[in-house]
Amino acid sequence: MRRMFSLKGKLALVTGAGSGIGAAIAEAFADAGARVVVTDVSAGSAAEQAARLTRKGGQAESMELDVTQETACEAVAAEVDRRFGRVHILVNNAGVGHVGRLLQTTTADLERLWSVNVRGVFQVTRAFLPRMIAAGGGAIVNLASIAGIVAVRDRLAYTTTKFAVVGFTKALALDHAREGIRCNCICPGRVETPFVTKMIAQYPDPAKARAEMEATQAIGRMAEPREIAAAALYLASDEAGSTTGTAMIVDGGWTAGK
């Protein structure tokens, strides 16, 4: 009997996979049989994660990728094509955040988030999409946020960019469905990643900040990266063949009452 959500024989590329959700997605894909190209703005972090997956018995390669640089995105797409062949699965996970309302957000803050969270997704997808179409199609998974579904207080720039990711996902799905391309995004709530843990530690009262973040979700805790990775595994798999243009909410019940 065929294993559900098997990615055996497929090549997947994950951006921002040096830690957190991206690392968990890369691990889930490798465990499901995919050969994974782990990319990150930090070449060292990417190499470390790829080595860890290889030690576990998976197939993994690493490449440095700054998604804000268009030429770098094109170069990586060409190099992956040359070295490994067709990419079946593309995960746009790289992202950054900012805490602040409008008056606590500078133009530079907005541009920094836009360059990674939106332009980065655009540039990476634009680099790989022609190759995926030429090879008969593939699955694209973008990491949005619950902040792309509902506004989140004190996260104006972040909310703006994640609404854009949701819109990009839906538009791409409509435009290329007949070319074999499926495009979906995941909208997590609070997730306990190294980035979030570091951010909590910077609050005047870290314990209070953690409790408040956990309380936003009906289940009373933050999600684990592996739980978001499970959603990505489904969306990347053949079992999701009829799923495209969706924004999958994995928020611990945050928006259940909204």
Per-residue pLDDT of the chain (258 residues; tens, 9 = 90+): 567 899 999 999 999 999 999 999 999 999 999 999 999 999 999 999 999 999 999 999 999 999 999 999 999 999 999 999 999 999 999 999 999 999 999 999 999 999 999 999 999 999 999 999 999 999 999 999 999 999 999 999 999 999 999 999 999 999 999 999 999 999 999 999 988 888 888 889 989 989 988 998 999 999 999 999 999 999 999 999 999 999 999 999 999 988
Q: Is residue 175 part of a domain?
A: yes
Range of 52's domain? 11-188+223-240
Q: Please list, in sequence order, all residues whose beta carbon lies within 8 angstroms of the beta carbon of residue 170, skipping any fewer than 6 positions away.
A: 245, 247
CA distance linking residue 183 with residue 173, whole number of Å: 5
Packed helices 119-134 and 70-83: angle between N→C axes, nearest 10 degrees: 30
Angle at 218 between CA 256 and CA 145, to 5 degrees: 65
Helix, strand, coil content of the chain in percent (nearest 5): 50, 15, 35
CA distance linking residue 17 with residue 46, whole number of Å: 7
Q: Is residue 201 part of a domain?
A: no
Q: Is residue 3 part of a domain?
A: no
Q: Is residue 147 part of a domain?
A: yes
Q: Is residue 53 part of a domain?
A: yes
pLDDT for the residue 2: 61
Catalytic residues: 158
Q: Is residue 92 part of a domain?
A: yes
Q: Please list, in sequence order, all residues whose beta carbon lies within 8 angstroms of the beta carbon of residue 132, skipping any fewer than 6 positions away.
A: 86, 87, 88, 90, 138, 140, 180, 181
Phi/psi for 254 (5° steps) reads -55, -50
As for how many domains the chain has, the answer is 1
DSSP 12-46: EEETTTTSHHHHHHHHHHHHTT-EEEEEESSHHHH
CATH code of the domain covering residue 99: 3.40.50.720
**DSSP structure class, residue 203:** S
Residue type, 220: G
Angle at 78 between CA 74 and CA 83, to 5 degrees: 145
Integer-rounded Cα radius of gyration of the chain: 18
pLDDT for the residue 240: 98
Q: Is residue 210 part of a domain?
A: no
Q: Is residue 88 part of a domain?
A: yes
